[in-house]
Amino acid sequence: MMPVTADRPRRETAMGRAKEKPLFAEPTDYEDDFQSWLFEQAELLRQRRFDEVDVPNVIEELESMGREIRHALESFYRLLIAHLLTWQAQPQLRSASWEVTIVRERAHIEQREAQNPALRANAAAIVADVYRKAVKEASIETGLPPSAFPPACPWSLDELRDEDYLPA
């Protein structure tokens, strides 16, 4: 066997890791302390101690994170569209508060889509999915029936994302 040098670090083998004691004497249970569990799992992965990782729950949490990222983007679009519908339907009641919400939700959308190009590519489907709920919210806000609003989102993705666009 070749000697270990700075140029030739010793490689851990599965056999070498098997002899190590577990990193955490009493690993945190996933259901008892979620935050501690997360940090323990991250440390196990960082140290490449894969045999100690709670793989089923790590997989579940990764999938859950993906769903939450999409859910957040859906919420941003839903709220933006509801406020644009309200803005358009009741010009006499427009307020700075409505405009602030529109600006804020666009900023959230821009940030989330910049961090998640796959979601940005799927934005048209997301808008189509949330439009009915946005109409319901605008209907409640305005007191108008849902039939008073267009059957599909009247704005393009470019208009929805344009920080200066407001419907007439």
pLDDT tens digits, residue range 25-78? Answer: 677 777 778 888 889 999 999 999 999 999 999 999 999 999 999 999 999 999
Whether 23 is covered by a domain: the verdict is: no
- 19 domain-assigned: no
Coil, helix or strand at residue 162: coil
Residue 130 belongs to some domain of the structure? yes
Q: Looking at the domain assignment, is residue 11 inside a domain?
A: no
Least confident of 1-15, 110-124, 137-151: 1-15
User: How far apart are alpha carbons 68 and 63 in whole angstroms?
Assistant: 9
pTM of the model: 0.76
pLDDT score at 31: 77
The structural domain count of the chain equals 1
Q: Is residue 99 in some structural domain?
A: yes
Alpha-carbon distances, residue 78 vs 69, 73, 112, 161 (angstroms): 14, 9, 14, 13
pLDDT for the residue numbered 25? 65
Give how far Cα 53 sits from Cα of 28, 42, 50, 56, Å. 11, 9, 5, 9
Residues of the domain holding 98: 66-161
Give me the pLDDT at residue 24, please: 67
98 part of a folded domain: yes
